Structure 1
Amino acid sequence: MKMMYYNVAACLLVIAVSNDMVLSCPSDCSCITNNNGVTVDCSSRGLTVIPRNFPNDSYRIEMNNNPFTTIEKGTFQNLTLLYSVLIFGSNLSTIETGAFITLPNLYIIDLEDNHITIIQPGAFKHLPAIYAIYLFSNQINAIQRGIFDNLQALIRLSLYNNQITALQRGMFGNLQALTELDLRNNQITTIQQGAFQTLSALQTLDLLGNNLTFIKNDTFEHNTNLQYLYLDLVCDCNFPFWSWLKSKSLFNDVGTCVDRDNIKLSSLHESDFDNCTYDSCYPDYCSNGRSCSQNSYGDLVCSCVGGWTGTTCTGKWNINSIER
């Protein structure tokens, strides 16, 4: 009798362990076990907050079409088998520091089609296996430095259909493996020197559908593996960039001129730039009665008048700062 009791108890223990995913599955979600682990589906459940009691062997988590707004710090902590997180079509607006941290097998983060405006520094950290981050169709207007630091395995980063206005130096961190960067359909007007400097493996860059008027000739000088470059811009006065483009053998460059009936920039000739006047090209670049020119490095230079100072003549000379 005692032996029978032990056998029954052992069987119940095995059943309990094998059904751990059922016992720990968040309420309002469904959990299914497969060979890789547990798939947790919390989509379209009206969730106002993200659950915290995911099974420890969660492999895939789906939380699409819910009204919650924030991914809080530590939401996915201790999920060492987690491979993918999919949250799209929700009201997500904020990703806190530590939202995705120390997840050794996380491969895909898909946060498309939300209302994300804020990604706090450290939101993506210690993700050694991350391959792709999809943040397209949100409301991101700026990428702070440090957001994507040291994601050494990241290959694909998609930020199209956002509201980004400028690409700043260092904003992409040290993404040494990144080969595909999609920045289509933002509001980018400015690319700072060195914005792409750390992206040594970059092969495909899509900048179509932005508001680019001026690109320096050294903008992509560190991207020696670049093969596919897509952009449209005001081609007038972009002679230095035209010269760089002509010197390269890209597989595909869709550099179209929005001011010249969408012909390709690479099809222009040097003589097409003879009548360029920088004030007519960039009437709003310099302020307060200034004039605009271009130096030998391809930079726009403002000649300030009337006591105005600064790169674009927006600072006022302070007479009190003069040494007596």
Structure 2
Amino acid sequence: MVPRNGDSSVLTVEDVEVPDPGPGEVQVEVAAVGVNFIDVYQREGVYPIETPFVSCSEGAGTVTAVGEGVSGLSVGDRVAWGQGLGAAGTVVNRSVDDLVPVPDGLDLDVAAAAMLQGMTAHYLVTDTYAVGPGTVALVHAAAGGVGQLLVQMVTAKGGRVIATAGSPDKLEIARRLGATATIDYSQVDDLAAAVREANGGAGVDVAYDGVGKATFDASLASLRARGMMVLFGAASGQVPPFDIQRLNRGGSLFLTRPTLGHYIATREELLARARSVLGDLAEGRLHLEVGGRYPLDEAARAYDDLEGRRTTGKLLLIP
């Protein structure tokens, strides 16, 4: 529960009575809840939400009750979701419009871990900038949840990845997943120059930047003429306003600030993305690392670890 805006210390665990599912809803016994930076933005008030509210938008579990008018889902079905508040509970009611089926053979905790970050990586490489053979992509925080998936998806489409991270261990994760060049950004004075050197002196086609303030300038400076800067997060802080003429001077650059909701705007698109990501995980074509599992009453510690960039892979809360 987020009773008021603030840092992780405001988070509380409370006992509440969950009503029967309403029309168009099912009740789900939650197996795992995804921990994401969007939860931080909402808790801090960067994305304003009226308090109090139950945090988290991503989870997976088993249907335990079905509301009026629901078809296509039954008690015992395994489902996952990646949007809408209120996931951080032991039992939740969810609209069937938000739910997707979890394939046989895929653990529920992996499904919970994959929904938001997996579909984010999917739309970034298929729609925001359509990666293809020969594409050179810069991926920041490549050992993080989205970063690891981006490295794999770009590589699977025939692209090359220049990966950045903040330690040798994290860079080794990126190399193992397919990155062709890696850069420890804590050890270089000019990150953009290091990126260009890793690409034979040329700029990259696209920069996938979920770090934000700390890497934004270097990402722009790493692009080729008419390259695309994709700012999809702000782990290091929000990027301040800047002179749009910088895009002109950098070589007619493109800049976009996408968010997942606009790429799953229809039920059909949600199902297509989720089936692609979850199917690849179930079939072993995609690997997802769960970097930490925390009890629900230790949510503050999970977010402190996430915000302190002390983790790799995906973090989960386990009710």
Same fold (TM over 0.5): no
TM range (shorter): under 0.3
From the two aligned structures, give the one with the greater helix fraction. Answer: 2
TM-score by length of 1: 0.25
- The structure having more radius of gyration, on CA atoms, is 1
